Structure 1
Amino acid sequence: MNKNQEIIDKLNGLLSDFQIFYQNLRGFHWNIQGRNFFELHVKFEELYTDAAIKIDMIAERVLTVSGTPIHGFQDYLNTTELEPVKNVHDGEVAVKTIVSNLEKIIVKERAIKDLAGSLDDSGTEDLMSAFVEEQEKTLWMYKAWLK
């Protein structure tokens, strides 16, 4: 068994979450309506562009630790802890979903960071630290928007 299998499995779970998060964001971007359209349309594009970059980074990390990144949509659906959403037109509902998704993702990233640290996998640990630091700020901003 691959000595990195636990890290690979956790990273693949995170990869699945990011794929669902990405699709949720695309849907928000496409379907947003209302007074906050111009503001949120741009913000959702920023978020899904960032998510696409992170998806690639996670998959490449899986490969780096001698694993295979999952890459089938049914595999993502079977592995994710996020709920796919569709036909969301209301900005507040979209932002609340983003906040919920990010909170779950950050919890998972912290757990992966801790696991990687215990296994002397500094590359994965550093990657997760960087993700968490950035996403905590993003989470704070979207929570502030909701107030």
Structure 2
Amino acid sequence: MAHQDSDINTIGLQTSSANQLAEKLNTLLANYQIFYMNVRGYHWNVKGPQFFELHAKFEEFYTDLLTKIDEVAERILTLGHQPLHAYSDYGRISTIEEDKNVAGGEDCVRSVVKGYQVLIELQREILSLASDADDEGTASQASDYIREQEKTLWMLNAYLG
């Protein structure tokens, strides 16, 4: 039986909780989009003795980021909201800043580390909010991303020594 209560959305969550989660997810989406373009830039522009290794690794990262961008946008839609889709909005709310003219291998890797750290921190906030709202879908998504990206950070930090 469907809820008639206007405080409950179509997937059974409190509307106020869904609104708060959608706003946080749009912030996450903005950070993913800026980070995605940064990693594309590292892929295109990396130079140095680790070129072949890093060029391939950055492609792996940005391909994964693109998948997650789509999944985050779809989760926002599932919550009954609209995902941001303009780079002017992304630039305004992202805490990850555009990274221009980075070409040194280690500098690129350090920037990737910083980007993943920002994403993980945001996803932990979202996980906490989603858990409080009994939003298993968003909590599960955030938890999966955190687990994967923590492992990626461990490997990147091992690479940097």
TM tier, smaller:
over 0.9
Gaps of at least 5 residues in structure 1 are none
Partner residue in 2 for 1:43: 57
TM superposition shift of 1:73: 0.3
Partner residue in 1 for 2:86: 72
Partner residue in 2 for 1:109: 123
Mapped partners of 2:58, 2:100: distance in 1: 14
Gaps of at least 5 residues in structure 2 are 1-6, 8-14
TM superposition shift of 1:47: 0.2
CA deviations over 1:41-85 (Å, ceiling 9, x no partner) = 000000000000000000000000001000000000011010110
Partner residue in 2 for 1:145: 159
Pick one of 5, 9, 30 that aligns with 2:44.
30
Mapped partners of 2:98, 2:159: distance in 1: 22
TM superposition shift of 1:87: 1.2
More helix by share: 1
TM superposition shift of 1:104: 1.0
CA RMSD of aligned residues (A): 0.9
The SS at the match of 2:64 is: helix
Pick one of 88, 92, 98 that aligns with 2:102.
88
> Does 2:145 align with 1:131?
yes
The SS at the match of 1:66 is: coil
For normalisation by structure 1, the TM-score amounts to 0.98
Moved over 4 A (4+): none
TM superposition shift of 1:135: 0.4
Partner residue in 2 for 1:21: 35
- The total of aligned residue pairs comes to 147
Partner residue in 2 for 1:120: 134
Q: Larger Rg: 1 or 2?
A: 2
Partner residue in 1 for 2:76: 62
> Does 2:30 align with 1:9?
no
Q: Percent identity among equivalent residues? A: 46
